[in-house]
Chain A
């Protein structure tokens, strides 16, 4: 589903990603972990070209995201993204937030968009908040709306960048539960997270990034019980 070949990314002289290659297969759930500043967000953002790769290739199915002729806008509709700070549209109601892109981008009728939006909202447990403005929701509720908003475009992949890092502890679970059921439904997912328990339980694979280098690419079982690299060992000691 996603192929990354020899990806490098620099911000000025700062080499943030160094020669990263990896594949994510359809239906796979991949957790990306690593210390702060190691390039996790940047890697994720290169997938839908929010950051443009300095060199190397990123492929989404048969299309090269990094290609000159790539229809990025079209590709992005198939790649959902959820941000740490939600980024809901504050001047739209929850329902409008979820229906806006399908209506504007895919040209879906209002009624159709709203009925599928309501379905999604009930999936994330927020049916009764449809007419609310984001300003009146809790963090956990906001993030669930953001997930529904991304899902409304019927994406084939979902990217999550620390979806629970900005939440109060008591709200983390409600978001992780939604993500868990999404994973169970067979969605392809790449998740940057500091929730090690979640990564261990839900992910099919764990990618460990340090200083822009993909240090480990292993099953959660292998990674959490017997990390191969020194760096991963130190990291795990700190966080577990």
Chain B
């Protein structure tokens, strides 16, 4: 009976944990706005790593602030909506709009031909100039870029600018990175020679580092930021008239001054040290909060992966051929495709196919649960077949039913053998969980990136994130050893 109770307890705990966490993330899903002023709500998508348009002052709070945010609040308020802000990766914004996950997007986004094919834009509310930022004294005009490496943000308007330059100047090599902080870091380490960054964004980086120089790219045309809305949305016209109003009554200028003015005087300019933790120290809390998200995420994924994996393992050893085929096909698909691809498909396809707006957290848990189930099922299957055949025969001879035999005789023994492999899988899962940052789940990794964007420091937040992951993995390792010792008491 003792063993029996243990299994019951384990399953019960698993179920309760899942329930508890499920509650946790379901209620967490939309950023419920504190002040429900209006009775209608608009959801805005943005990517909070693009100061001063949208970012988080991580030393102070969790709130996304910036030029776009102020503007969006103003417009939404005027139109009689509450505003809910959803943060995600810049590359995910248009798909999010497409799949109805957000009502509109403001992210310093410039209307271009490709984007216009998918979504509608309002008129431009702010025009930025594009700067060439470089450390190289010899680069003073775009002609000097000959034979140099030029960095741009992937999928940005600057990418188009770079292509234009490439046509004019020979041998320019365009390097694409996901984020502006990545570009600046590449500049620092001289992996690229120059980067195209728009003025409002570049200002802070230039302030932080006197070695960086910048000049304006001539004839950049009408590059500017506009609000993106779904095709045919009747909100587009309303947004347009609000933007006109703000331009006339000077509200817009007020916001431009608030966010884009160059505050620091020349003597305030300081060259940041190569590594300086003091800058990110005040944002440590902000990153540490990610531990909760990551832990929740890992715990739910592990439970899901384990339960599903056990089920699949049983299918793999079952006598019913279709069950075996299913389980084998499942494993082969989930092992044969990249995890990040599975994540993006589940996150973006679910709302399109089912009308259900899956949260980043839920999509992440589902992906990781489903994915690790494939690996865990293989581990368990191997573990089961490594259990002495005699155990099965002895159970059969005693008339023990299949389910009891599996749960109480075979699996406990299999589990003991495969514990190291399982622990390994859990550790991998913990580390790999960092990729949910891509869909904007506020885990340790995403928070570190946001701090990086906010403080214009690259290494330090990542090192802190690395330390946190390491401690978590060590914790799991110790736990695994304890469990192993415990389970081997029978020998």
Contacts and interface: CB of A to CB of B under 8 A. Distances in A.
Interface string B389-417: 01101101111110010001100110010
A149 B412 contact: no
A201 to B, nearest CB: 27
Given A91-B416, A133-B489, A110 B1 contact: yes
Contact of B400 (A90, A104, A146): A104
Interface residues of B, number: 25
A83 B393 CA distance: 9
B383 to A, nearest CB: 13
B3 A105 contact: no
A91 B3 contact: yes
A73 B363 CA distance: 44
Contact of B399 (A83, A85, A86, A101): A101
Nearest to B397: A81
A153 B490 contact: no
B489 A83 contact: no
B404 to A, nearest CB: 5
A103 interface: yes
Given A104-B408, A110-B1, A135 B397 contact: no
Contacts of B2: 96
Contact of A92 (B3, B400, B401): B3
Contacts of A85: 390
Contacts of A83: 390, 393-394
Interface in B408-431: 408-409, 412-413, 416
A87 B399 contact: no
B130 to A, nearest CB: 68
A192 interface: no
Interface in A84-138: 85-92, 96, 99-101, 103-105, 110, 133-135
A90 B398 contact: no
A80 B394 CA distance: 10
B400 A96 contact: no
Given A103-B1, A133-B490, A135-B491, A73 B399 contact: yes
A131 B146 CA distance: 82
A150 interface: yes
Contact of A87 (B390, B400, B412): B390
Interface residues of A, number: 34
A87 B490 contact: no
Contacts of A22: none
Contacts of B388: 87
A134 to B, nearest CB: 8
Contacts of B397: 48, 50, 76, 79-81, 150
A89 B398 contact: no
Nearest to B391: A87
Interface in A128-160: 133-135, 146, 149-150, 153
A91 B1 contact: no
A149 B416 CA distance: 23
A162 B399 CA distance: 21
Nearest to B416: A91
Contacts of B404: 104
A153 B399 contact: yes
A42 B489 CA distance: 35
A147 to B, nearest CB: 12
Contact of B413 (A50, A75, A91, A96): A91
B399 A91 contact: no
Nearest to B387: A90
A153 B408 CA distance: 18
A101 B490 contact: no
B400 A101 contact: yes
A140 B178 CA distance: 69
A145 B165 CA distance: 85
Nearest to A90: B490
Contacts of A77: 398-399
Interface string B300-313: 00000000000000
* Residue of B2, B397, B412, B490 contacting most chain A CB atoms (<10 Å): B397
A213 B489 CA distance: 47
Interface string B321-352: 00000000000000000000000000000000
Given A89-B409, A90-B413, A92-B3, A105 B393 contact: no
A74 interface: yes
B391 A105 contact: no
Nearest to A89: B409
Interface string A159-173: 000000000000000
The 7 closest A-B pairs by CB, nearest first: A77-B399, A87-B390, A87-B394, A81-B397, A76-B399, A101-B398, A133-B490
25 contacts: A50-B393, A73-B399, A75-B399, A76-B396, A76-B399, A81-B394, A81-B397, A83-B393, A83-B394, A87-B388, A87-B390, A87-B391, A89-B391, A90-B490, A90-B491, A91-B413, A92-B3, A92-B490, A99-B1, A101-B398, A101-B399, A110-B1, A133-B489, A146-B394, A150-B398
Given A83-B393, A96-B2, A104-B400, 4 more contacts: A50-B396, A73-B401, A89-B391, A153-B399
